[in-house]
Amino acid sequence: MESITIIKKRSWQEIVRLFRQVNLHGDAQVLPYKKAKIESRIIGLDEVKPLSLYVLKRHLEFQEELRNQFLRQHKIDTLDLDGERGGLVYRVNNDKKKWLMASPIVEVSQVDGGVPVLVDGQHRFLVAKKLGLGIRVIWIDEVMPKVPLIAKPVEWSQMKILTKVPELTKKRDFRYKWLSEVPDISSFSNKKPIKKNLYYFFYRDLNKITSSAVRREGLSE
């Protein structure tokens, strides 16, 4: 990694505005964070539970190197994007692709008894753990009712470091494995989950906020 070019620094106000516009993969009209409480705070690894059962070794190494380069070249700590720098738009080396970064995202899952769950940013969390540091996150509470996370929270001890993406059923402990398990959502959506999108129907589309979010095309990451 030779150089990092910052294209734009996103303010905290802009990041919050983008979260208000986040929609469900299964129904673009449903905005789970429209009225949610959104704040920035520094926490420790043991304060949240992960949503993923794996991380990729190459992505873990990349996030550690990315942090080092941001610190060296721009004096920005990717583990502590403060209120002034709510998010970043940047390029790596001479690649034309633009990357989006925000702090890791934690959502308080009411359906799981009010457990704070790491929705995005598990690689940076593990970098922070390795360095013995706290990490700044975007903490979201009071999310729209009856819009659960796509998977159940798991323990950090269950997370594996892998060299390749595992098969779908081994990525997460998906909340609904059969259509018959999905609760009635007719009070706020006229869409119905189908077999093809069952696992990711309730996925929050974060692609305008962070490049590490699941891609719509195949939902493969």
How is residue 24 written in tokens? Answer: 């469900």
Q: Is residue 105 part of a domain?
A: yes
Find the length of the chain. Answer: 221
Question: Is the pLDDT assigned to residue 167 strictly greater than 60?
Answer: yes
Q: Is residue 127 part of a domain?
A: yes
DSSP characters for 133-196?
Answer: --EEEEEEESPPTT---SB----GGG-EEESSPPPGGGT--BS-SSGGGSPP-TTT-S----GG
Q: Is residue 219 part of a domain?
A: no
Q: How many domains does the chain have?
A: 1
Chain segment 54-70, per-residue pLDDT in tens: 999 999 999 999 999 99
Range of the domain at 56: 4-197
Q: Is residue 204 part of a domain?
A: no
Chain segment 83-122, per-residue pLDDT in tens: 666 899 999 988 889 999 999 999 999 999 999 999 999 9
pLDDT of residue 217: 36
Domain CATH code at residue 54: 3.90.1530.10
Q: Is residue 220 part of a domain?
A: no
Could you tell me if 58 and 49 are in contact, meaning their C-beta atoms sit under 8 angstroms apart?
Answer: no
pLDDT of residue 221: 36
Planar angle of CA 79, 83, 88, nearest 5 degrees:
60
pTM: 0.92
User: How many other C-beta atoms lie within 10 A of the C-beta of residue 79?
Assistant: 22
